[in-house]
Amino acid sequence: MSANSCVAGVIGSPVSHSLSPVIHNAAFAAHGDDWVYVAFEVRPEDAGAAIDAVRVLGIAGLSVTMPHKELVIDALDHLDSQAAVVRAVNTVVRTSEGRLVGYNTDGTGCVDALTAAGADLSSVGVIGAGATARSVIAALATAGSRISVVNRSADRLAAAVEIGNSTRSGSTIAAGADSIGECATIINTTPQGMEGVANDVLPLDVNVVSERHTVMDAVYHPLDTELLLAARQRGARTVDGLEMLCAQAARQQVLWLGRRPDVRLMREAALVELSRRQR
């Protein structure tokens, strides 16, 4: 670092476990960027104040994680069209005029990761209807997928389906958990499976999964969730949450710096860090 280094970071709560600093700093170093990325623990009630701090301190780029993706919206100057549709922001860009613009790279990162894995995106089942799910649904609709959404809350389910259909008419339907196996690819966007959050509960009946499926879990802690282990045992192709995390982070660096980093390098840095934490 130097007095001229650009500072980027992530806000969330909790955020101490985040792999984003490792991932982004590895890419900055590989490209010779005079940037440094840090994590800021921010209470939910202070999300708007954190955006004000970005202005005052001249922070060059910001990632936003749970539970702040919706809370920061009113403090920003403008929203990109997709962030406005899904009403969730995971990336803040400072323009040359100093305006702060909110974007969402979760959905496009998810599609990038699935495409790289060779997944069939013609029909996709999405489990969940929260901020991550809405972003994924919008990106899948843009990519031409037929989307079936499963969620316990009827109101949130209806809102998620509407987002898909407002992105591409007729693209998205509400579905029951028993029919999700009809989709070629299945994505869990819920926290079920996360360490400390019902990590032994499966978000779907894996008996509907077979070798014809690709199964992605947005959870990356642990890397091999119970869902992925069970899906792999049934012959399915699996994609872990770290793939999505790195792909969306690469999209963030495109927005901040105008160049795409090496996603494989970012993943390797994250795996080294995960190994270090397990010692």
Q: Enumerate the active-site residues.
A: 69
Q: Which of 45, 39, 82, 84 is nearest to 64 (CA)?
A: 39
Rounded Cα gap, residues 266 and 250, in angstroms = 8
The amino acid present at 56, given as its one-letter code, is V
The answer to whether the CB of 216 falls within 8 A of the CB of 113 is yes
Q: Supply angle C-alpha 89, 224, 238, rounded to 5.
A: 80
DSSP of 57-126: HT--EEEE-TT-TTTTGGGSSEE-HHHHHHT--SEEEE-TTS-EEEE--HHHHHHHHHHHTT---SEEEE
Element containing residue 266 per DSSP (H, E): helix 263-277
- Give residue 180's region: left, alpha or beta (phi > 0; psi -120 to 50): alpha
Q: How far is CA 136 from CA 174, 196, 273, in A?
A: 15, 24, 27
Residues near 130 by Cβ (< 8 Å), separated by ≥ 6? 156, 189, 190
